Amino acid sequence: MVKVGTVELARISARGIVQGVGFRPFVYQLSTKYNLKGWVCNTSEDVKIEVQGKNKDLRRFLSELQDNAPPLARIESISVTYHPPANYTKFEIRHSIAEAGKYQLVSPDIATCQACIREIFNSEDSRYHYPFTNCTNCGPRFTIIEDIPYDRPNTTMRSFTMCLECQREYDNPLDRRFHAQPNACSKCGPSLELLDAKGTRVETPDVIVTASQLLKEGKILGIKGLGGFLLACDATSEKAVELLRQRKRRPFKPLAIMVADIGETKRHCCISDAEERLLTSTQSPIVLMTWKPESVVCKAVAPNLKYLGVMLPYTPMHHLLLRESGLPLVMTSGNISEEPICKDNDEAIRRLSGIADYFLVHNRDIYARYDDSVTFVENGVVQLTRRARSYAPYPIRLNFQAKQVLGCGAEEKNTFCLTKDNYAFISQHIGDMENLETLEHFENTLALYEKLFRIEPEVVAYDLHPEYLSTKYALELGSQFSHLKLIPVQHHHAHIVSCMVDNGVESPIIGVALDGTGYGSDGRIWGGEFLVADYKGFQRMGHLEYLPLPGGVAAIKRPYRTAIGYLLKLLGDEIIFGNITCHSDASASCHSERSEESGDPSPLPRLTNEKTPEDSTNPGLAFLKQVDPLEIELIKRQIQAGLNSPLCSSMGRLFDAVSALIGVRGEIDYEGQAAVELEMIAYEDNDKAGTKGYPYSIVENDGVNIIQLKELLSAIVEDLYQGVSKATISARFHNTVAQIICDMCQRIAKRTGISKVALSGGVFQNRLLLKKVIPLLQ
């Protein structure tokens, strides 16, 4: 039995996010508190601690080590072994040790803490108005790290030598900047510059004041932040916002705004307690919230939407700019549409000079591109729709030991995943894999993750779709490295398993995967799928019936084509051709100009990007009046001949079709626009529809439940002829989809005995649908 007061030595290994979060200073201060001697150091694998003292003090030390760790630390494990005491006479922080093949979790970037905010607005403080103020509790991490262990020489801060005062803070165990690797001040750290569109320096005594004045004048600024450039303008100026949209070629896609503080946020949005906690968290993501009608933010920021994406300043520079300008500012990704966010000054001037009038830049290099994260709160639960800044590269913990596997991800909104030990490292948002620039971003980010986490994949998983760039990348890897095992994965199975892992579920589950498109095991387009799945495989228990997508990609961009195709297939020619005549405007252009996208001879008239006006004198299929009769005839022939009219079972395409059918959105500017606006118009119903839905039928074919949509579409058409409002039709349609989901899950549960349900896929970003379906399933 060890006597109380006996001197012991403990060797401790702490793993998790324990580097770059003030953990070593915390250990130093804790050892001083309990009069313990020894040392602490970072390694490539962990934080190692060797500490000796009286056994009662050691136990108190260990208890506090776990219970009172710094707020940004995430301790995954602590191991302790006891040994005979050594001859330590003090406690010290030793130099870091790089260990071959070992890895450590890396902290995401963290929003500016309250202590640093107080400093930058305190005219008596040495960091007054310094835009790169940080400490161990906040600031850049992942975006500046090039390798582990996390020390200044391994970051892009190595080119800035600390002045005597900063070094004193860095060396002082009682200072909150003790071993803060990005520590700097105006004497020794990064600095801001204002450049014109050609990259020429603008001479000004105060860069922030001048930049703020330019924003007030309606100028567009390219602003270099933590993980790349943002494009900013006055969010209250319709002229400035429309100019930004015109230059960026982004006519309708919603933009996010940044406001000074939570009080300002409440002037623009209705905010729940959960949303306020999320907004003010260390992650400080964009949060989608209900937009107040009286907000001064102009409607051009998010046309036709009731939700506004808002974030608070997350760097000192943002705080200074928002305070000085006094404006809510549009802050949208600094890129040309569909390309990665710019991260370097020269790159931004080269790519964005046609958009931005001026650039607010700095000389701290960004190593990893990092978009803003996007979230919303539904039923009190935070939902991530874009996982990037302040979330990545923190991994998801697995319930099993994984091989070293690379999952290459899908085509749209790509992220990749690397697994090792019991971790799944999901990359930050990469973007749509549609061009070489995004592929290069994918490859560079993958190389960084492999280096940081010491991963050499043995297995590469890829989507079944043969034309995805991510799939081609995986197959190319396989041809270059014969030792790699290649595994194709069905898109919707991946959706469900990702949801299972995210929620720590291992047993088989009912999976509802609803999205726009995904390559099916039968070579068709899936997207309205009901599966029974586990990690290894799945059984397709049901799906929406297959319907044609006339023109393929053209139908996705022009949902009126999908609507026409569905009507022709389900309700017959008469429902269409009984509603159209070749009027003079259309017939004047009834020539056979070949359409690039659809591959069919297609006349010029198209639906405009404006909502179809109500036609009170001629209710019914008013959307057809916007389509040239010859195009409708050609769509019919395409479907009959099976020419470029792939069959799909997609719920996303059904939303598109209904949106076009009732005159909400016939052509889209951004992915999901037709479905999003269909959701928005349903809120205008003010619950007149109640729980009423539309009829549908489910038939069984070889043990698979097929959801048939003829009755649903017929009832919607009937409502149109009866003059029922778009809002009520949309609300009833949402009720119907929720009921279909519940109905199918009940059938599968009865057949299999499984009661847990996973919901995944882009359709579930529809908050109205979530509101309706979750109570039904519960």
Residue 611 pLDDT grade (very low, low, confident, very high; cuts 50, 70, 90): very low
The label of the residue with tokens 């009731």 reads 306
Is the same domain home to 238 and 312? yes
The residue out of 93, 108, 125 marking a domain boundary is 93
Structure confidence at residue 687 (pLDDT): 83
The enclosing domain of 81 has a CATH number of 3.30.70.100
Same domain, 356 and 408: no
661 and 573 part of one domain: yes
Q: Is 573 helix (H, G, I), strand (E, B) or coil?
A: helix
Span 226-260, pLDDT tens digits: 999 999 999 999 999 999 999 999 999 999 999 99
Does residue 134 fall inside a structural domain?
no
| Of the candidate ranges 454-463, 561-570, 594-603, the one whose mean pLDDT is the lowest | 594-603
Q: Are residues 236 and 311 in the same domain?
A: yes
The closest alpha carbon to 672, from 748, 755, 765, 563, belongs to 765
What is the CB-side half-sphere exposure of residue 429 using CA atoms within 13 A? 24
Statement to judge: residues 636 and 719 lie in one domain: yes
DSSP state of 633: H
What are phi and psi for residue 758, nearest 5 degrees? -110, 130
Q: In the listed set 64, 93, 122, which residue is the last one of a domain according to the structure? A: 93
% of the chain at pLDDT higher than 90: 85
Say whether both 451 and 597 belong to one domain: no
579 pLDDT band (50/70/90 cuts)? low
Instruction: Evaluate whether residue 359 is within a structural domain.
Output: yes
Confidence grade of residue 619 (pLDDT, cut at 50, 70, 90): low
Is 599 among the domain residues?
yes
Answer whether 525's CB lies under 8 Å from 649's CB: yes
Residue 580 is predicted with a pLDDT of 59
Tell me: do 553 and 476 sit in the same domain.
no
Residue 261's domain is classified under what CATH number? 3.90.870.40
Q: How many CB atoms lie within 10 A of CB 8?
A: 18
Q: Tens digit of pLDDT for each residue in 674-716? A: 999 999 999 999 888 888 999 999 999 999 999 999 999 999 9
Per-residue pLDDT, 690? 87
* Burial environment of residue 710 by CB neighbours within 10 A (0 to 12, 13 to 18, 19 or more): middle
Q: In whole numbers, what is the pLDDT of the chain averaged over residues?
A: 93
Q: Which range of residues forms the domain containing residue 81?
A: 7-93
pLDDT for residue 620: 84
Contact 400, 420 (CB under 8 A): no
Q: What pLDDT, on the 0 to 100 scale, is given for residue 296?
A: 98
What pLDDT score was predicted for residue 616?
38
Amino acid at 101: G
Does one domain contain both 408 and 463? yes
pLDDT in tens, 252-299: 999 999 999 999 999 999 999 999 999 999 999 999 999 999 999 999
Note the pLDDT tens digit of each residue in 155-203.
999 999 999 999 999 999 889 998 999 999 999 999 999 999 999 999 9
pLDDT-derived band of residue 3, with 50, 70 and 90 as boundaries? Answer: low
pLDDT at position 578 over 50: yes
Q: Tell me, what CATH number does 621's domain have?
A: 1.10.357.160
Q: Is it true that the peptide bond before 85 is cis, omega within 30 degrees of 0?
A: no
Q: In degrees rounded to 5, what are phi and psi of residue 205?
A: -70, -25
Instruction: Round to whole Å and give the CA distance between 242 and 247.
Output: 9
Q: Report if residue 140 sits inside a domain.
A: no
Strands (E), 352-494: 358-362, 374-378, 381-386, 396-407, 417-426, 459-463, 485-489
Q: Is residue 608 over pLDDT 60?
A: no
Helices (H) and strands (E) in the chain, counts: 23, 28
**Does residue 400 belong to any structural domain of this protein?**
yes
Q: What is the pLDDT of residue 99?
A: 83
Give the CA distances from residue 453 to residues 44, 72, 444, 597, in Å, rounded to whole numbers and listed in that order: 9, 20, 14, 43
Residue 760 forms part of a structural domain: no
Which of 36, 66, 93 represents a domain boundary (last residue)? Answer: 93
Q: What is the predicted pLDDT for the residue at 5?
A: 67
Q: How confident is the model at residue 606 (pLDDT cuts 50, 70, 90)?
A: very low
pLDDT at 25: 86
* Longest pairwise C-alpha distance within the chain: 102
pLDDT band for position 752 (cuts 50, 70, 90): very high
Reference 658, options 544, 749, 771; nearest CA is 544
Tell me what percent of the chain is helix, strand and coil, each rounded to the nearest 5.
35, 25, 45
CATH number of the domain where residue 434 is located: 3.30.420.360
Segment of 21-30, 297-306, 600-609 carrying the highest mean pLDDT: 297-306
Query: Within this chain, do residues 324 and 412 fall inside the same structural domain, yes or no?
Result: no
Task: Examine the pLDDT at 585 and tell me if it is beyond 70.
Answer: no
Statement: residue 613 has pLDDT above 60:
no
- Model confidence band, residue 574 (pLDDT cutoffs 50, 70, 90): confident
Asked whether residue 607 falls in the same domain as residue 686, the answer is yes
- Residues 551-561: what's their mean pLDDT? 96
pLDDT exceeds 50 at position 431: yes
How would DSSP label each residue in 193-259? Answer: EEEETTSPBPP-S-HHHHHHHHHHTT--EEEE-SSSEEEEEETT-HHHHHHHHHHHT-SSS--EEE-
pLDDT tens, residue by residue, 366-405: 999 999 999 999 989 999 999 999 999 999 999 999 999 9
- Asked whether the beta carbons of 110 and 139 are under 8 A apart, the reply is yes
Q: Are 481 and 427 in a shared domain?
A: yes
User: Do 366 and 409 belong together in one domain?
Assistant: no
Task: Note the pLDDT tens digit of each residue in 14-66.
Answer: 999 898 788 988 999 999 999 999 999 999 889 999 999 999 999 999 999 99
Q: Is residue 619 part of a domain?
A: yes
- What is the number of domains present in the chain? 4
* Average pLDDT of the residues in 531-556: 97
| Residue 759 lies inside a defined structural domain of this protein | no
- Helix intervals (H) in 625-665: 629-641, 651-661
